[in-house]
Amino acid sequence: PTILSIVRSPDNTNVTITWTSVSNCMYWVQYKSSLASTSWLDLSPDVTATGSTASFTDHPGTESQRFYRAVVP
């Protein structure tokens, strides 16, 4: 999947990640706080796409940065 956008909410409490998808395909959204890290952490729940794009809203709390990806399990 290709990430199309990562948009932070106006109040800085949520981040919505949107990516290209295949309808009825399941995706995991993962993140890490540093590009130096080799480990990705899963966000839940899994996302089942209903069209050519899918999205997930994360609540990163006080973390100043996160790097995201969507993967097919």
User: Backbone phi, then psi, for 53, in 5-degree steps?
Assistant: -135, 155
Q: Residue 64 pLDDT more than 90?
A: no
Residues 20-63 pLDDT 10s: 999 999 999 999 999 998 999 999 999 999 999 999 999 998 88
First to last CA, the chain: 12
**What pLDDT, on a 0 to 100 scale, did the predictor assign at position 63?**
80
**What pLDDT, on a 0 to 100 scale, did the predictor assign at position 66?**
93
Beta bridge partners of 65: none
Q: Residue 12 pLDDT more than 90?
A: no
The answer to whether 19 and 57 are in contact (CB under 8 A) is: no
**What pLDDT, on a 0 to 100 scale, did the predictor assign at position 45?**
93
**What pLDDT, on a 0 to 100 scale, did the predictor assign at position 62?**
80
